[in-house]
Structure 1
């Protein structure tokens, strides 16, 4: 909302929300945890999921863009991004921490949400493509290999497809594969910056890029449902 409306109130509340997340322990050392107790917000659920991390990353990317490259939001974005890539991309492939023991069905769409947010982050803050694109590429290949003629598996680092009948798995894999559709555009805008240094100029074409990405998601989702 801060990006789309230019209303400073939304920016102020985004800052307050992130500060509260840090103060409450919901975010600690750039690890994003699942939640807190409703009554007093003192009991932290320390489980970690890809979609939560992606939500904070895209939020920080928007704030970096809105504030014209604020050093505070750059360090926040870089910290969240580096921690997420370290935690959820072993061998460069997106993975939930619970995959070794089994994940709840409600989280089968989460990796797709993270990938979508990473793609949008590259559009909003092009300098991040230097570290995001490599894992997007390897994840896309792995996700495609995890699909058979009809369905896709939840886990993408297996040597066999292990497909299921969960639509969430199909949508998540679709997000990973179609993330490469705008790769050339990201590379052209990335410049020479990287996550550890340099500040990229915020993109002036965010609206067009997001609309293009949204249409890709909608079109791809329709195809998957029809299949």
Structure 2
């Protein structure tokens, strides 16, 4: 926490009042940001959960078809197809309260070459399509997870900043302001007493 430097007298009171106003306004703005981030984070967590379940389902389907195909023709049937080009991933981005994160991810899986041999059996043909679907689902899951993490990190950071303002900085300013105002009030009271004493003394001499 930064050292609190306060000028003496009324200048210090003015500085503290302004600082306290800024701190309270900042805390209010961060509270609003926190509510928006919390709502968005919950939405992204739900989207990630759905995307992960979809990915796991697609992968399980692909593995099931592959097992059936291998039972029919053996593992040597996996070597009948030539390697393909890598899948291409495209991510679109958006932002929530200044936090940049993925919005969607699409994955283009290369189509089979017409000249390459067909899968050895129908089960492996279905496995091929199911694995392509699983790859696309994995990309969507990764994007959803990255979005949830980015917004979640900002949520935690904002929560820490609000806590620092509400629990530490604002109370320090309030305490310092109360101390300065008490000192000023004491000085004004002493000045009033001195003025009254001078006035009474002058009246007795006249």
What is the TM-score normalised by the length of structure 1? Answer: 0.21
Give the number of the structure whose residues are more often helix, by fraction: 2
Higher-RCO chain (CA-CA 8 Å, sequence separation at least 6) = 2
